[in-house]
């Protein structure tokens, strides 16, 4: 088992020479190979012991715990594909552009997996992790990750890592413990869901669970990270998450974010703060692709929130690494730049926590792979970036948008008209979800009224009807 992380005291910097750490890991790996070769008849009921490249006793956490982790309802999340984010395709490339992320209004950065990628049966996916307690050397070092986190904290942004609990790469050192993995009827280790580059972990193994939890603690203690986005969370037993999140959250002086890529309501009971908003995303997409009424979007939001605990949130998005790499860009899904922007307004203002995937803020026209380097050209479409800044800035300044209730104002199929209400504050949002001009009869409360357009601080004087240009939107206060 890994050395348990206990009795962590006051915060002061403490690091280990990276060369020594790699030597320790190499010697351990060679020892395991010798052990496996010389003792093939060893008892599989006695698991091999693995230790992370950390001190035998950890009494101190690295760095100062971040004291500005936002409330869940205030989170604006940004997903970083390290290989695509810069020409260098490494952690330093992300660090060098943290100012631009912060300028958007982001307060939580989600880094896609930063761990070494498996080569045996590998396809280059960062979700085939070959070592849970090391940094992919193509991305940099532990020192580079620490530097990224420190600078993000200076800019009032939290950093969460992507955690892949359901499976490992085939050349992960854990594979020596066969009982830690799922087997078929022939006794062979299996891949989950047809993902042939990874091996499915067996969560009936208590030894594997404890090793996994210690690895999760490692990055909080040694890199000062602020939580995890947990990949394919619904594929992992709720009981494991309940135990793991409780133990990681017990690390002193930490306010951590736990975000599940899943839909199970039980994820919240296990300790997650956020679930992925697949239902909401599908509703928005169906309005565009199937010409569904905008009421479908409201219904999806209500259905999601009536089943989750108070204080929990759904993450809303129009783009992420999977959709972008495998299917299309936001512009492809939502009918161009203007359609995608209207869809983002809906995802950010109907409710929930908004997510941006890197490149979305410049309407990047090309799909972005996460299997190899596909550097983003950040020089394009600065006017789109400015528009995102305004939309997120208005959201940040409004408790009604971040925390208020949703009140639909019309039964229109084509124009979303709703307000967000919190205490005495009301914000009105109108979005044309069609690629055509629409003459719209305004509902009571908007007809014959004057409002301030928050996007450009100009006054709008409504009469009884109003003509909406294709994919136009308005964010109003009076």
What CATH code is assigned to 62-173+190-403?
Answer: 3.20.20.80
Residue intervals of the chain classified under CATH 2.60.40.1180 are: 406-477
Tell me if 62 sits within 8 A of 224, measured CB to CB.
yes
* pLDDT in the model for residue 59: 55
The helix (run of H) or strand (run of E) holding residue 77 is strand 77-80
22-31 long-range contacts, CB within 8 A, separation 24+:
22/53, 24/53, 25/53, 25/131, 25/134, 29/173
Tell me if 172 sits within 8 A of 129, measured CB to CB.
yes
Tell me if 312 sits within 8 A of 267, measured CB to CB.
no
Q: Which residues pair with 108 in a beta bridge?
A: 77, 158
Residue intervals of the chain classified under CATH 3.20.20.80 are: 62-173+190-403
* pLDDT in the model for residue 50: 52
What does the pLDDT look like over 118-138, one tens digit per residue?
Answer: 999 999 999 999 999 999 999
Say which residues have a Cβ less than 8 Å from residue 406's Cβ, sequence separation at least 6: 298, 301, 302, 350, 351, 418, 419, 420
Residue owning tokens 């280790």? 189
Tell me if 71 sits within 8 A of 309, measured CB to CB.
no
Q: Which two tokens stand for residue 94?
A: 């992300």
Tell me if 197 sits within 8 A of 123, measured CB to CB.
yes
Q: Which two tokens stand for residue 412?
A: 């229109």
Cβ density class 75-93: b for 16+ within 10 Å, e for less: bbbbbbbbbbbbebbbbeb
Q: From CA 17, how far away is CA 475, in angstroms rounded?
A: 53
DSSP string, 117-170: BP-TT--S-TTSBS-TTS--TTT--HHHHHHHHHHHHHTT-EEEEEE--SEEET
Closest-CA residue to 345 (of 380, 394, 383, 276)? 394
Q: From CA 69, how far away is CA 256, in angstroms rounded?
A: 8
User: Collapsing DSSP states into helix, strand and coil, what is residue 112?
Assistant: coil
What are the pLDDT tens digits along the chain (478 aa)?
A: 443 343 333 333 333 334 334 443 444 444 444 444 444 444 445 555 554 544 433 457 899 999 999 999 999 999 999 999 999 999 999 999 999 999 999 999 999 999 999 999 999 999 999 999 999 999 999 999 999 999 999 999 999 999 999 999 999 999 999 999 999 999 999 999 999 999 999 999 999 999 999 999 999 999 999 999 999 999 999 999 999 999 999 999 999 999 999 999 999 999 999 999 999 999 999 999 999 999 999 999 999 999 899 989 999 999 999 999 999 999 999 999 999 999 999 999 999 999 999 999 999 999 999 999 999 999 999 999 999 999 999 999 999 999 999 999 987 999 999 999 999 999 999 999 999 999 999 998 899 999 999 999 999 999 999 999 999 999 999 8
Tell me if 124 sits within 8 A of 117, measured CB to CB.
yes
Q: Give the dihedral sign, CA 241/244/247/252.
A: negative
Closest-CA residue to 48 (of 172, 165, 135)? 172
Order of strands, sheet of 405-408, starting from the edge strand that comes earlier in the sequence = 405-408, 415-422, 425-432, 473-477, 450-453, 458-461
Residue owning tokens 């982790």? 69
> How is domain 406-477 classified at the architecture level of CATH?
Sandwich (2.60)
């Amino acid at each position: 088992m890994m050395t348990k992380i206990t009795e962590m005291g006051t915060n002061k910097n403490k690091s280990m020479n990276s060369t020594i750490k790699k030597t320790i890991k190499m010697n351990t790996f060679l020892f395991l190979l010798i052990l496996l070769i010389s003792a093939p008849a060893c008892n599989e009921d006695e698991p091999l012991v693995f230790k992370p490249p950390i001190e035998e006793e950890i009494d101190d956490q690295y760095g100062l715990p971040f004291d500005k982790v936002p409330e869940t309802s205030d989170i604006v999340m940004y997903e970083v594909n390290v290989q695509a984010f810069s020409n260098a395709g490494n952690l330093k490339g992300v660090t060098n552009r943290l100012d631009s992320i912060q300028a958007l209004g982001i307060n939580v950065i989600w880094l896609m997996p930063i761990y070494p990628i498996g080569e045996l049966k590998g396809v280059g996916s960062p979700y085939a992790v070959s070592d849970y307690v090391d940094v992919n050397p193509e991305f940099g070092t532990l020192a580079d990750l620490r530097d990224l986190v420190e600078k993000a904290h200076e800019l009032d942004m939290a950093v969460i890592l992507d955690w892949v609990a359901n499976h490992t790469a085939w050349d992960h050192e854990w594979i020596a413990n066969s009982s830690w993995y799922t087997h078929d009827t022939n006794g062979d280790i299996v891949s989950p869901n047809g993902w042939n580059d990874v091996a499915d972990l067996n969560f009936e193994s208590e030894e594997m669970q404890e090793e996994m939890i210690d690895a999760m603690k490692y990055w909080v203690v040694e890199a000062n990270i602020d939580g995890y986005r947990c990949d394919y969370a619904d594929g992992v037993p709720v009981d494991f998450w309940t135990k793991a999140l409780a133990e990681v959250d017990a690390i002193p002086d930490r306010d951590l974010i736990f975000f599940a890529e899943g839909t199970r309501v039980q994820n919240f009971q296990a300790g997650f703060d956020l679930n992925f908003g697949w239902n909401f995303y599908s509703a928005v997409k169906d309005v565009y692709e199937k010409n569904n009424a905008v009421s479908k979007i409201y219904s999806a939001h209500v259905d999601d929130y009536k089943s989750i605990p108070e204080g929990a949130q759904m993450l809303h998005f129009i783009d992420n690494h999977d959709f972008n790499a495998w299917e299309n860009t936001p512009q492809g899904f939502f009918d161009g730049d203007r359609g995608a922007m209207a869809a983002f307004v809906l995802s950010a203002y109907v409710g929930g926590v908004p997510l941006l995937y890197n490149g979305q803020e410049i309407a990047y026209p090309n799909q972005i792979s996460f299997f190899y380097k596909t550097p983003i050209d950040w020089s394009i479409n600065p006017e789109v970036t400015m528009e995102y800044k305004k939309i997120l800035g208005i959201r940040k300044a409004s408790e009604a948008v971040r925390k208020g209730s949703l009140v639909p104002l019309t039964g229109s199929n084509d124009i979303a008209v709703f307000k967000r209400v919190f205490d005495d504050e009301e914000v009105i949002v109108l979005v044309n979800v069609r690629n055509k001009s629409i003459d719209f009869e305004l509902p009571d409360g908007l007809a014959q009224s004057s409002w301030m357009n928050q996007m450009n601080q100009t006054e709008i004087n409504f009469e009884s009807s109003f003509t909406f240009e294709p994919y136009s939107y308005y964010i109003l206060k009076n």
